[in-house]
């Protein structure tokens, strides 16, 4: 099922033994366009601490009204590695995080999701340390595993090959494999203020310094796309 990420902000997160907070943000991989973590605001329960929750913890995405079920206990979440909110999520932190939960890292193959399939832990998972040794990822900055905030992307301007067309208002996620299928773009005066969707496959690059998303399509191509209508959740 396709879901508006914007509509999930603020939803309650319920562990197996009680509420743990609410959805504050999503961290996604800006190379593969897959959600890697839900950012949970735990409020006063953990002294206003933010925690990351992997798609592994959700299993089949279950939503009851404005609540989403997390297949973890409150104690397990409380004892999880803390993130430093003023710093980017590092690969070093992710290794500690996945080792703590006993899940295979998504970069190590066994826990890969987004391209196809469902982010389930295999029946006989490869130990985290062995998976890391068996898979040699391409070198990259250890402090920047391409994780970006969905909240921060809101408002980024879309730049086509022949000019600007509007700005990002939402992301649409497939709740089965957590892949981001569309960016929702408000076109403003250029296209009568309509909202349209753009597939991540058309994205050439993102400039976080300029707050722009560059796409390899023209304005004429965009005008051929169907208008987007947000289905308001009741």
pLDDT tens-place string over residues 179-230: 999 999 998 777 777 888 999 999 999 998 999 999 999 988 887 776 776 5
Look at the pTM and tell me if it is higher than 0.85: no
| Structural contact between residues 218 and 161, judged by C-beta atoms closer than 8 angstroms | yes
Concatenating the DSSP letter of every residue in 102-156 gives: TPPPGGGSTT--SSSS--PPPSSPPPHHHHHHH--PPP--TT--SEEEHHHHTTP
pLDDT of 110 higher than 70? no
H-helix or E-strand containing 227?
A: none
Q: What percent of the chain has pLDDT over 70?
A: 79
Please, which pLDDT band fits residue 156 given cuts at 50, 70 and 90?
very high
**What beta strand segments (E) does the chain contain?**
2-4, 12-15, 18-29, 34-41, 50-53, 63-64, 67-69, 147-149, 157-160, 163-174, 180-186, 195-198, 203-207, 212-215
Q: Please, which residues bridge with residue 185 across strands?
A: 168, 196
- Please tell me the class of the 152-223 domain: mainly beta
Q: Name the average pLDDT for the chain.
A: 82
Per-residue pLDDT at 97: 94
**H-helix or E-strand containing 30?**
none
Q: Is the pLDDT of residue 138 over 50?
A: no
Question: pLDDT band at 86, cuts 50/70/90?
Answer: confident
Strand bridging mode 2-4 / 18-29: unpaired
What are φ and ψ of residue 52, in 5° steps?
-100, 140
What confidence score (pLDDT) does residue 140 get? 39
Model confidence at 134, pLDDT cuts 50, 70, 90, reads very low
Q: What percent of the chain has pLDDT over 90?
A: 53
Is domain 2-148 in CATH 3.40.30.10, yes or no? no
Asked whether the predicted pLDDT for residue 127 surpasses 60, the reply is: no
pLDDT at 231: 57
Least confident interval from 62-66, 104-108, 178-182: 104-108
In this prediction, residue 144 carries a pLDDT of: 52
Residue 108: the pLDDT is 66
SS3 67: strand
Q: Which residue has the tokens 């998976």?
A: 131
Token output for 112: 């890969």
Ranges of each domain in the chain: 2-148, 152-223
Rounded Cα distance between 163 and 18, Å, is: 49
């Amino acid at each position: 099922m396709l879901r508006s990420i914007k509509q999930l902000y603020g939803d309650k997160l319920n562990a197996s033994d009680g509420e743990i907070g609410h959805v504050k943000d999503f961290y996604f991989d800006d190379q593969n366009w897959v959600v890697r973590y839900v950012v949970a605001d735990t409020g006063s329960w953990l002294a206003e601490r933010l925690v990351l929750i992997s798609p592994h913890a959700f299993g089949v995405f279950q939503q009851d009204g404005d609540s989403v079920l997390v297949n973890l206990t409150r104690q397990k979440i409380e004892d999880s590695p803390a993130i430093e909110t003023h710093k980017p999520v590092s690969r070093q932190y992710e290794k500690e995080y996945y080792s703590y939960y006993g899940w295979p890292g998504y970069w190590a193959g066994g826990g890969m999701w987004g391209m196809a399939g469902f982010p389930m832990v295999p029946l006989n998972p490869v130990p985290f340390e062995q998976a890391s040794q068996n898979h040699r990822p391409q070198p990259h900055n250890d402090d920047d595993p391409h994780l970006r905030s969905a909240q921060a992307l809101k408002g980024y301007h879309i730049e086509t090959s022949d000019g600007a067309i509007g700005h990002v208002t939402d992301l649409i996620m497939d709740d089965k494999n957590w892949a981001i299928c569309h960016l929702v773009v408000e076109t403003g005066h250029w296209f009568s203020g309509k909202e349209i969707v753009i597939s991540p496959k058309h994205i050439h690059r993102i400039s976080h310094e300029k707050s722009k998303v560059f796409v390899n399509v023209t304005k004429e191509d965009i005008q051929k796309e169907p208008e987007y209508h947000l289905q308001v959740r009741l």
